[in-house]
Amino acid sequence: MTKSKMPHILVVNDDGVDAPGIRVLIEEMQHLGKVTVVAPDKPQSGMGHAITFGEPLRIDAMDLYEGVEMYKCTGTPVDCVKLAVHKIFGDKKPDLCVSGINHGINNSINVLYSGTMSAAVEGAIEGIPSIGFSYDDFSYDADFSTCRKWASSIASQVIRNGIQMGTLLNVNFPRGEIKGVKICRQADARWAEGFDERMDPYNRPYYWMTGKFVLNDRGEDTDVWAIERGYATIVPTQFDMTAHHAIPQLNSWSFDVRK
């Protein structure tokens, strides 16, 4: 592959521009193409698809990796993708957008809250083949060594084969040895939240959110099932949130207020 034909890869994340997970992803993507990084200047976990408006956004160039164009952004993960596409790449969009590797799992319902996955979703909205990568270890010093070659392999397959428009990949890696890759569906689960109430020095209440992960799905084709058994999971994900199966039922209802 000639240098001029190498794919141009946008790397983003939600843990911040200096997180160990993004360093691993940058290093692996450098084997596949030209890399440009736009990432938040501070951790933005749990931001979902939030965007910044009503206040300015700033991007500043950084020089951390040889041969890598890199910027830190004051906004959210989605802001990073928007600024990359419209201000850094200009007329030619990247050939691939990869987000992560996130410190912590983004399987099942977690995909809705994840800044990592929302950045990849934004890439897909822009028409860019996109992947979100996450690892089942929340610690800052997590060992991503088992994820490296799998992330590179999955990204290379996307570069080679493409992804259907409107679709992106949600990839999660288990901790420890990875037995292989399974294509899965998103497990049916939710967070049962609670709020721990405490009092500040002025006797005013404040709250810490707590929660318990509730799995309502015993299927053996889900991302939760596969990760628990040592497999990396790929869930094809879409941003069209229409519940198509509900349309026939709703069409049978009567909304005519003139009767």
Domain boundaries, the chain: 3-186+219-249
Residue pair 25/45 in contact by the 8 Å Cβ criterion: no
CA distance 136 to 146: 11
Listed in sequence order, the residues at least 6 apart from 19 whose beta carbon sits closer than 8 Å to its beta carbon are 13, 43, 103, 140
**pLDDT for position 44:** 86
**SS3 label, residue 56:** coil
**pLDDT for position 122:** 97
59-62 vs 69-73, strand pairing mode: antiparallel
Domain 3-186+219-249 belongs in CATH node 3.40.1210.10: yes
Neighbours of 16 (CB within 10 A): 17
Going by C-alpha positions, the residue among 126, 34, 24 that lies closest to residue 80 is 126
pLDDT tens readout for residues 237-246? 999 999 999 9
Q: Tell me which amino acid residue 171 is.
A: V
pLDDT tens readout for residues 18-40? 999 999 999 999 999 999 999 99
Neighbours of 180 (CB within 10 A): 9
pLDDT by 10s per residue, the chain, length 259: 445 579 999 999 999 999 999 999 999 999 999 999 999 999 888 888 999 999 999 999 999 888 899 999 999 999 999 999 999 998 799 999 999 999 999 999 999 999 999 999 999 999 999 999 999 999 888 999 999 999 999 999 999 999 999 999 999 999 999 999 999 999 999 888 899 999 999 999 999 999 888 889 999 999 999 999 999 999 999 999 999 999 999 999 988 887 6
Q: What is the pTM of this model?
A: 0.93
**pLDDT for position 130:** 98
Neighbours of 55 (CB within 10 A): 7
Distances (CA, A) of 231 to 8, 88, 108, 143, 147: 29, 36, 15, 17, 11
Which residue stretches of 63-220 are H helix?
A: 77-83, 115-125, 148-161
